[in-house]
Amino acid sequence: MKTQRENSRLTTADRLVLTAMRLFGEKGYGSTSVADILREAGANSGSLYHAFPTKQDLLVAVLGLYRDGIEPMLLEPAWTGVDDPIEQIFALLASYRSRLEATGCTYGCPIGSLALELHEPDPPVREALAVNFDGWVSAVEGRLLAARDRLPAQTDIRALAQFVLTVMEGGVMQSRTHRSLQAFDAGVTVLRDYFQRLQTPPPTPDSTERS
Amino acid sequence: MKTQRENSRLTTADRLVLTAMRLFGEKGYGSTSVADILREAGANSGSLYHAFPTKQDLLVAVLGLYRDGIEPMLLEPAWTGVDDPIEQIFALLASYRSRLEATGCTYGCPIGSLALELHEPDPPVREALAVNFDGWVSAVEGRLLAARDRLPAQTDIRALAQFVLTVMEGGVMQSRTHRSLQAFDAGVTVLRDYFQRLQTPPPTPDSTERS
DNA sequence: TTAGGAGTTGATTGATCGATCAATCCAAGA
DNA sequence: TCTTGGATTGATCGATCAATCAACTCCTAA
């Protein structure tokens, strides 16, 4: 039983996608050569190009795998043992923090890295990236909706969910660049303060005003 | 008088750096070949390698130029005509919005793009990126300090300034990926709401409290 | 038992990459 | 005027890139 390399009981195509997923996350798309993928997957170039017309099609397959993995690989592990929907959001952020910490602030969000690395991606790639962001945002949106009654009535829930993604991605970017968790933690702390204030009923100093 | 290509009255080295700055911003570092730079700068490879030992040294020079340009090229234009320090912060964000809008959401923040494209940058590159972030954050921090009395006393000003950068970078990333200003605008709107709440005195239901 | 095709092998292709270097140009100092 | 050295030229290098393809293996269905 070989454990090195991507699970060798899988088909070659699956091994290639899993290896590419890992390497694209580690080194980016452009800096990962087809030869790198073939070597680490233990496959030959003919096998790759039998399963995928081009390297870019392999990338699209990787992005599809990320999309399908959001629920079972990302959300579910982050949320087990956390009941409060808003705390689930922060548990999700904490999972990114763990990832940063475990890798010395080199790994972050592979989707975000790819999104900024590929400046003018072909439509299928750009759409696959957007679908990943949408899936993430929708998951957070679901948690916010579960806490709807704790938030101001006029809150734009979708926009707030996008904002959570924004804070995560921006924090990861800075933490990776500074090789320090400080920036990520600062972002989460400020976001928590914002949620605190959202959940605190407004001034009501006199009485009327504010709908 | 040639106007095409980077100002031809400059030295060859300066033309190379300016051309590289533009191309690295447009296509990223890895996707910009030395041949691209030479062609658009109207120079020969020998000239480049006479001025810069490697392509990476050219990148470091570009990052230095960005750093030196923060004040005169970014902040000063964004802030003219805006007096309120907090509004200056949002004017800065608006300048990024303009940039996104003018380019169909393809350009964003070149520093952020490079920061995520280069996964394991050599120390001088990583440090040059970090210096750029620091300069940006310090500028925002200065505006927040100018509005110190309007913010809660216990506010972590530096962390809040980093948070502004986080929101900008995260918003740019999503807007570029979705090819739509919506995500960026949503981020700015939520940030504005947060600043609103920061500037609104807390509940004061009874009376005491507040340090 | 055999025919056929999906899957695999690995050498090879042409293009492109960053970088090199001998030759040449040219302006400033002696 | 001659000398010197920084700046420039442009052909060229070896490495590496994504992609190709004829040959081969092996499973399956007839």
Q: Which amino acid is at B24?
A: F
DSSP A152-209: -TT--HHHHHHHHHHHHHHHHHHHHHHTSTHHHHHHHHHHHHHHHHHHSPP--SSS--
B165 and B72 co-located in one domain: yes
- Name the residue with higher pLDDT: B203 or B14: B14
Q: Give the CA-to-C1' distance from A8 to D3 in angstroms.
A: 71
Q: Strand C and chain B: which residues 20-79 have CB closer than 7 Å?
A: 32-36, 45-46, 49, 53-56
Q: What is the CATH number of the domain that holds B166?
A: 1.10.357.10
Whether B186 is in a domain gets the answer yes
Q: Are residues A175 and A108 in the same domain?
A: yes
Is B178's CB within 8 Å of A133's CB? Answer: yes
The residue in chain B having the minimum alpha-carbon distance to the alpha carbon of residue A200 is B203
Tokens describing residue B24: 């690295």
Q: What are phi and psi of B157, to 5 degrees?
A: -60, -45
Residue A188 has pLDDT above 70, yes or no: yes
Give the span between the Cα atoms of B139 and B159, in whole angstroms. 13
Instruction: Name the residues in A35-94 having a C-beta closer than 7 Å to nucleic acid strand D.
Output: 35-36, 45-46, 48-49, 53-56
Q: How far apart are CA A87 and CA B111, in angstroms?
A: 32
A17 closest CA partner among A1, A31, A43, A2: A43
Residues of A in contact with B112 (CB under 8 A): 116, 173
CB B98 within 7 Å, strand D: no
The mean pLDDT value of chain B amounts to 93
Q: Which nucleotides of C are covered by protein (CB under 7 A)?
A: 7-12, 16-23
Domain C-terminal end among B15, B35, B52: B52
- Residue B205 domain-assigned? no
For residue B149, being part of any structural domain is answered with yes
Residue A117 lies in a domain: yes
B191 class by beta-carbon count within 10 Å (0-12 exposed, 13-18 middle, 19+ buried): buried
> Same structural domain for residues A121 and A96?
yes
Same domain, B83 and B19: no
Q: How confident is the model at residue B24 (pLDDT cuts 50, 70, 90)?
A: very high
CATH of residue A22's domain is: 1.10.10.60
Residue A49 has pLDDT above 60, yes or no: yes
B210 within some domain: no
Decide: A189 and B193 in contact? Cβ < 8 Å: no
B72-124 pLDDT tens trace: 999 999 999 999 999 999 999 999 999 999 999 999 999 999 999 999 999 99
A179 touches chain B (CB under 8 A): yes
B125 Cβ contact list (under 8 Å, min separation 6)? B56, B59, B60, B63, B118
Segment A47-72 shows an average pLDDT of: 98
Residues A115 and A77 in one domain: yes
Helices B110-117, B123-146: inter-axial angle, 10-degree rounding = 140
The interface predicted TM-score of the complex, written ipTM, equals 0.92
Are residue A27 and residue A76 in the same domain, yes or no? no
Within a domain: residue A211? Answer: no
Residue A210 lies in a domain: no
| Six token digits for residue A12 | 């070659």
Cα–Cα distance, B14 to A30 (Å, whole number): 28
Domain shared by A110 and A191, yes or no: yes
Q: Do A98 and A31 belong together in one domain? A: no
Whole-number pLDDT of residue B9: 77
- Give me the number of domains chain A comprises: 2
pLDDT at position B197 over 70: yes
How large is the average pLDDT for residues A109-122? 97
Residue with tokens 């927040």: B144
Same domain for A31 and A72, yes or no, is no
pLDDT at B15 over 50: yes
Provide mean pLDDT across the span A45-74: 98
Does A207 score more than 70 pLDDT?
no
As a whole number of angstroms, the distance between CA B172 and CA B185 comes to 10
Residue B205 has pLDDT above 60, yes or no: no
Interatomic CA–C1' length for residue B50 and nucleotide C18, angstroms = 14
Residues near B117 by Cβ (< 8 Å), separated by ≥ 6? A28, A30, A113, A116, A117, B28, B29, B30
Q: Are residues B68 and B161 in the same domain?
A: yes
Dihedral sign of CA atoms A149, A150, A154, A155 in order: negative
Question: In which band, very low, low, confident or very high, does the pLDDT at A211 lie, cut at 50, 70 and 90?
Answer: very low
Domain that holds residue B43: 1-52
In a domain? residue A16: yes
- Verify that A84 and A188 share a domain, yes or no: yes
87-116 in A: which are within 8 Å (CB) of B? 106, 108, 112-113, 115-116
Q: Is the CB of A134 under 7 A from strand D?
A: no
Q: pLDDT tens, A81-93?
A: 999 999 999 999 9
Are B61 and B136 members of one domain?
Answer: yes
Structure confidence by residue, pLDDT tens digits, A190-201: 999 999 999 987
> Is strand D less than 7 A from the beta carbon of B13?
yes
Angle between helices B182-199 and A182-199 (to 10 degrees): 70
Main-chain phi, psi angles of B52, to 5 degrees: -130, 130
Is the model more confident about B4 or about B137?
B137
Query: Residue B129: pLDDT above 90?
Result: yes
Q: What is the pLDDT of residues B168-192, one digit of tens each?
A: 999 999 999 999 999 999 999 999 9
Radius of gyration in angstroms for the set of CA atoms belonging to chain B, rounded to a whole number: 20
Q: Could you read off the pLDDT of B45-82 as tens digits, one per residue?
A: 999 999 999 999 999 999 999 999 999 999 999 999 99
Q: Return the pLDDT at B111.
A: 98
